[in-house]
Amino acid sequence: MVYSSILDWIHFPDVMSNMYYPFDVYNLPYDISYKLWELLGGTIAWLINLLLPGNPVSTWLICDEVVNMFALIIFMIVIFLVVFIATLISLWEERKVLGRLMDRRGTMIGMKGFLQCVADGLKTFMKENTMPKKVDKMTYMWTLSLVIGTSVLIACMIPLSQRWFVVDYSTGLLIIMALFALAPFFILVSGWGQNNKYSLIGGMRAAELMISYEVPILIMIATTALMAGSFNIGDIVNAQFNSTWYFIPQIVGFITFFFCATAESERTPFDIAEAEAELVEGWQTEYAGMKWGLIMLGDYFRGYVACAMITIMYLGGWLLPWDPLQINTYLPELTFLIKTWFVFFMMIILRGAIARVRPDQILNIGWKVFMPLSVVNLAIVLMLKIGGVY
Amino acid sequence: MVMEFLKKYPYDENIPRRTLWIMKPFVVVSKLFVKAVIHRDVAILYPYEDLWMPDNYRGRPGLRFEKCISCGICVRMCPTSCIELVEVLDDAGNTVKRPQINLGRCAFCGYCAEYCPVDAMTVTPEKELAEYTREDLIYGPRRLACDKINKNMEVHLEETLMSDIKNGNSERRVNAFMTDRPILDSSKCISCKKCEKVCPVKAIKMIEHGVNAKGRPILWPEINKDICVCCHNCVDDCPKSALHMDEVL
């Protein structure tokens, strides 16, 4: 029996040299997951080879196709985990900052209160999973899954940098916006399917709110795309690298988009769909236990996506604010996340400062203030574009 | 929108424009945020931290067993009548009366400590009093002791009397009731010596004033006004209501 060292089974080749490499350019999370599987699969292959020398499974485990397949599975987990932890951190941030705004301490359980998220998750997981008798079961469960699913999907589709992405698609912002805009229909159907007047009112409100705020948001996305010359997120950020960050020429659009994105992700002061004071829990009234916990998590995913869109479109994405040495590649993912959390911090300040507006006021503001402002923003950008400034 | 706003808030020199500014809540909230981050916030981690308490914080009443003269003023003054005198053994083995407090009824007003003539009853800063049963809330004389008692916990009722002001003396008296003394209506006295027995400070002495028709001595109480603590026990126990309290100055 010939003893083979474990080092014969684990060798870190260049990811790009794999002929089944699924991306066009270098992808960091894929590289990480590829190397992880090299370690894991190589160890398994070596162990199997120790027991049964010369078996085909060992060689199968580390051939190009199989490594690629397992690396893709780990890739999904890595991408999701990073977004998940970023969202949990923004949740923790909301609790702590909101506590400071109210002159109290916020959560205090472990790691400066961060582990409260874990405790809450466990608690909702332990709750009894009840379902009312008279709900329409199909819409009840399916709309829930779709709302949470689309939220997680768009959160994962946000690229953190030019090397940290899932798909480098050329219609970037439009696809994200399209998936973002799917939610009100599910919420409306869910509110109807729950057989509860509070849910129905909540669903109606969510639908009217989101539909009326999508128009200015889409106009402003188109404005940014016009300015950058592309819908691709990487191209938009690069265009900001070549000129200035877009919140300077588009200051009107930046402020308008900030409020619209807050409304679109159903956060206070625009949370008329959830409206704890008058509707019990809005369209989430009949969801119990882990279902409700996942809805809350989905809400925070949507908040994270809204902040990430603001960061990409106006705050220069993963660019450093002052970069004379052109070290743009130094931890761009962290830069992006810090900017996202900063925008989320602004949203928390907004939540702490302003009381909730009435449904009719929200529609008034949406159609009579934000909509004209977004058109004004478009006009400014058009003039800048025609004048040859950008 | 702008015209509506101007119609609603017309220009007025007296109103500072800043108060109508839309950014005001943001400024206020940001200020509070910075303040709460830099300084300590109002909320405390209760079981691990404790609020600062002044020495004369009116927590549960405390008793210094040796100082008490069992006069019963605390029993009389308690507005919720949660205090009663019970018989216990003191350190020398004699049976004495000492107050027992039902903290389930106590209103934490501190009157017992204010009116105590010898400052045996005090307030204490102890406030963690949770128990499992109502019986556990009844604090006996020994349990009322508190090792943290210091001079600041002896609270006093300070008051200026109308009669004092009339006499041209407007100083505050520490205990207003200490100016009252029992006065004897000697025509009603039957010489039963009850007042002498119930006096907690032995201020009453029976003095002979001749003999009656049957040849028995006539005894009238004489009150030592320097020792008397004005506890009303003699007045309450007099079978013929021969004693009454009066302000003597």
CA distance B56 to chain A (A): 27
Tell me the pLDDT tens digit for each residue of B139-149: 999 999 888 88
Residue of B33, B34, B37, B44 to mutate, testing the A interface (most A Cβ within 10 Å of its Cβ)? B33
pLDDT the model gives residue B232: 87
Which residues in chain A are closer than 8 Å to B43, comparing Cβ atoms? 103-105
Nearest to A258 by CA among A228, A299, A217: A217
Contact A101 B32 (CB under 8 A): yes
Instruction: Output the pTM of the full model.
Output: 0.76
Residues contacting A100, CB < 8 A, separation 6+: A106, B32, B33, B36, B37, B41
Quick one: closest CA in B to A347, which residue?
B26
Share of chain A above pLDDT 70, in %: 96
Residue A39 lies in a domain: yes
Specify which residues B62 forms β-bridges with.
B122
SS3 A301: helix
Residue A6 lies in a domain: no
pLDDT the model gives residue A363: 87
Nearest to A213 by CA among A16, A367, A83, A318: A367
Query: Does the CB of A112 have a partner CB in chain B at under 8 Å?
Result: no
pLDDT the model gives residue B79: 94
For residue A144, which amino acid is it?
A: L
CA distance A104 to chain B (A): 5
Chain A 292-351, residues with CB within 8 Å of chain B CB atoms: 349-350
Residues contacting A241, CB < 8 A, separation 6+: A316, A319, A328
Q: Are residues A144 and A218 in the same domain?
A: yes
Decide if pLDDT at A62 tops 80: yes
Residue A229 lies in a domain: yes
Phi, psi of A61 (to 5 degrees): -65, -30
Taken in order A15, A21, A25, A27, the sign of the CA dihedral is negative
pLDDT the model gives residue B19: 58
Which residues in chain B are closer than 8 Å to A368, comparing Cβ atoms? 1
Tell me the pLDDT tens digit for each residue of B163-202: 778 888 777 777 766 778 888 888 888 888 888 889 988 8
SS3 A55: coil
Domain final residue, candidates A50, A66, A86: A86
Decide if pLDDT at B48 tops 90: no
The whole-number average pLDDT for the span A372-382 is 94
Residue A8 lies in a domain: no
> Which is it for strands B138-139 and B95-102: parallel, antiparallel or unpaired?
antiparallel
Of A50-64, A272-286, A350-364, B22-36, the poorest mean pLDDT is in A272-286
Q: Are residues A381 and A233 in the same domain?
A: yes
SS3 A168: coil
Residues contacting A371, CB < 8 A, separation 6+: A215, A216, A219
Q: Which of B29, B30, B42 sits opposite A104 (nearest CB)?
A: B42
Q: What is the DSSP string of A204-231?
A: HHHHHHHHHHHHHHHHHHHHHHHHHT-S
Which residues in chain B are closer than 8 Å to A349, comparing Cβ atoms? 26, 29-30, 33
Residue A103 lies in a domain: no
Q: Which of A100, A104, A108 sits opposite B33 (nearest CB)?
A: A100
Quick one: closest CA in B to A97, which residue?
B33
> Mean pLDDT for chain B?
85
Nearest to B123 by CA among B53, B57, B52: B57
Q: What does the alpha-carbon distance between residue A254 and residue A343 come to, in Å, rounded to a whole number? A: 11
pLDDT the model gives residue B16: 63
Decide if pLDDT at B20 tops 60: no
Which residues in chain A are closer than 8 Å to B26, comparing Cβ atoms? 349-350, 353
Query: Does the CB of A50 have a partner CB in chain B at under 8 Å?
Result: no
Residue A47 lies in a domain: yes
Which residues in chain A are closer than 8 Å to B1, comparing Cβ atoms? 368-369
Query: Does the CB of A354 have a partner CB in chain B at under 8 Å?
Result: yes
ipTM of the complex: 0.77
Q: Which residue has the higher pLDDT, B14 or A58?
A: A58
Range of the domain at A70: 19-86
pLDDT the model gives residue A256: 93
Q: Are residues A72 and A182 in the same domain?
A: no
User: Domains in chain B, please, with CATH?
Assistant: 2-38 (no CATH), 61-153 (3.30.70.3270), 176-247 (3.30.70.20)
Tell me the pLDDT tens digit for each residue of A135-172: 888 988 899 899 999 999 999 999 998 888 898 888 88
Helix (H), strand (E) counts: chain B: 7, 9
CA end-to-end distance (rounded Å), chain A: 70
Total number of domains constituting chain A: 2
Q: Are residues A293 and A153 in the same domain?
A: yes
Q: How far is CA B164 from CA A378, B149, B160, in A?
A: 85, 33, 7
b vs e for A264-281, b when ≥16 Cβ sit within 10 Å of the residue's Cβ?
Answer: bbbbbbbbbbbbeeebbb
Contact A353 B32 (CB under 8 A): no
For residue A53, which amino acid is it?
A: P
pLDDT the model gives residue A324: 62
Q: Are residues A274 and A330 in the same domain?
A: yes
Q: Are residues A139 and A46 in the same domain?
A: no
Contact B29 A368 (CB under 8 A): no
Decide if pLDDT at A13 tops 90: no
Q: Are residues A271 and A161 in the same domain?
A: yes
Residue of A93, A96, A98, A101 to mutate, testing the B interface (most B Cβ within 10 Å of its Cβ)? A101
Q: Are residues A143 and A70 in the same domain?
A: no
Contact B41 A368 (CB under 8 A): no
The whole-number average pLDDT for the span B210-239 is 86
Residue A93 lies in a domain: no
Phi, psi of B245 (to 5 degrees): -90, 145
CA distance B181 to chain A (A): 55
Share of chain B above pLDDT 90, in %: 20
> Mean pLDDT for chain A?
88
The whole-number average pLDDT for the span A263-272 is 84
Query: Does the CB of A352 have a partner CB in chain B at under 8 Å?
Result: yes
Q: What share of chain A is helix, strand, coil (3-state, %, to 5)?
A: 65, 0, 30
Q: Are residues A204 and A291 in the same domain?
A: yes
Q: What does the alpha-carbon distance between residue A302 and residue A187 come to, in Å, rounded to a whole number? A: 14
Which chain B residues touch A if contact means CB-CB below 8 Å? 1, 25-26, 28-30, 32-33, 36-37, 41-43, 45
DSSP element (H, E) containing B182:
strand B180-184
Decide if pLDDT at B18 tops 70: no
Confidence of residue B41 (pLDDT cuts 50, 70, 90): low
Specify which residues B180 forms β-bridges with.
B247
The whole-number average pLDDT for the span A15-44 is 89
Residue of A93, A104, A348 to mutate, testing the B interface (most B Cβ within 10 Å of its Cβ)? A104
Phi, psi of B185 (to 5 degrees): -95, 95
Q: Is the peptide bond before A269 cis (omega within 30 degrees of 0)?
A: yes
Residue A370 lies in a domain: yes
Tell me the pLDDT tens digit for each residue of A308-347: 999 999 998 888 877 666 665 668 899 899 999 999 999 9
Asked if A285 and A130 touch (Cβ cutoff 8 Å), the reply is no
Decide if pLDDT at A44 tops 60: yes
pLDDT the model gives residue A348: 93
Confidence of residue B224 (pLDDT cuts 50, 70, 90): confident
Q: Are residues A42 and A136 in the same domain?
A: no
